[in-house]
Amino acid sequence: MTDAYDPSAEGAQMEFDGRMSYGDYLDLEHILSAQKTWTDTHDEMLFIIQHQTSELWMKLAIHEIAAARRSLAAGETRPAFKMLARVARIFEQLNSAWDVLRTMTPSDYTAFRDALGQSSGFQSYQYRQIEFMLGNRNKAMLRPHEHRAGIVQMLEDELAQPSLYDVALRLLNGSIPLPDAVLNRDLSRPWKPDQAVADAWTQVYRNPRKYWELYELAEKLVDFEDYFRRWRFNHVTTVERVIGFKRGTGGTGGVSYLKRMLEVELFPELWHLRTDL
């Protein structure tokens, strides 16, 4: 029998005293000590890691959407397209993650659900930030964060900025003029479908060659919303599978609330114009 291979023979670094290691660079000590379980049930670890990894991917999504929005506002569409494509992939990643959580049965979950108290994903401030960045804005969603001034401030700052869709519409306005009411709308409110915007996007889709960049932008937005819708759908289906029609720990009706959220349209005109093409 040969001896186990020693990678140091080909130069693998084996000594890290005073040198940056993998764990140092990634601050693993910090991140891997954050899985505090509150019960001694087997599936709580799955539940915690599923949510923590989702929050990490959301952090990256926020980073990318913010940069895409800045690029678009500066008229730099190419880098924005690349970032939006990445955000869609992040959501694909989040969508696949449901397959792991689905292995948790109602019996597994009820064993620790009481320990969650009234906590709920409804209070995920990164999720709310993403919704606000995209244009699904609702001041009522600030209330669960009133005890955390920094979070309220962050969400209010977001409501004061044009959403990703607002920025896209400003770009559209550069080629096809839109009404002032669209361009100077109250940014803190949710976007309401607008006929002039629908007509403008319809022109883009009827003449892709003339409006190629806008056409590509619109398709990037639709692609992203497609993945986002799948996330919402996977969520509600998993919830029904695990807790049925029980009320949510966050106080909503549970599945009934999440089904209502399936009706949200982030970029409504981009979906509706398809009927008229």
Ligand X SMILES: N[C@@H](CC(=O)c1ccccc1NC=O)C(=O)O
Q: How many CB atoms lie within 10 A of CB 261?
A: 13
Residues in binding contact with ligand X, number by CB under 6 A: 10
- Establish if 121 lies at the interface with ligand X (CB under 6 A): yes
| CB 53 within 8 Å of CB 97 | yes
Q: Which stretch binds ligand HEM (CB under 6 A): 38-46, 81-89, 197-205, 233-241?
A: 233-241
Residue 51 marked as a ligand binder: yes
- Residue from 84, 217, 239, 273 touching ligand HEM (CB under 6 A): that is 239
CB of residue 243 to ligand HEM, shortest distance in Å: 5
Sign of the alpha-carbon dihedral angle for 56, 57, 60, 66: negative
DSSP state at residue 18: T
Q: Which is nearer to ligand HEM, 162 or 254 (CB)?
A: 254
**Minimum CB distance to ligand HEM, residue 191 (Å):** 16
Confirm or deny that 47 is annotated as ligand binding: yes
Minimum distance of ligand X from residue 246's CB (angstroms): 7
DSSP output for 119-150: --GGG-HHHHHHHHHHT---GGGGGGGTT-HH
190 touches, from ligand X, ligand HEM, none (C-beta below 5 to 8 Å by class): none
| 40 to 59: interface string for ligand X, x by CB under 6 A | -----------x--------
Is residue 173 a contact point for ligand X (CB under 6 A)? Answer: no
What span, in angstroms and rounded, lies between the C-alpha atoms of 27 and 175? 47
- Binding segment for ligand X (CB under 6 A), chosen from 59-67, 72-80, 118-126, 140-148, is 118-126
What DSSP state is assigned to residue 114?
G
x/- map, 226-255, ligand X, by CB under 6 A:
-----------------x----xxx-----
113 annotated ligand-binding residue: yes
Q: What stretches of the chain show up as alpha helix (H) in DSSP?
A: 22-26, 28-31, 44-73, 77-101, 106-113, 125-134, 149-159, 164-175, 180-183, 195-206, 212-243, 255-261, 268-272
DSSP three-state, residue 33:
coil
Which residues are CB-neighbours of 277 under 8 A, at least 6 positions away?
A: 202, 205, 206
Taking the complex as a whole, the smallest distance from the CB of residue 239 to ligand HEM amounts, in Å, to: 4
178 binds ligand HEM (CB under 6 A): no
Q: Which of 1, 108, 98 is nearest to 51 (CA)?
A: 98
- The contact set with ligand HEM (CB under 6 A) reads 50-51, 54, 101, 109, 120-122, 124, 127, 235, 238-239, 242-243, 248-252, 254, 257-258, 261
Residues making up the binding site: 47-51, 109, 113, 235, 249
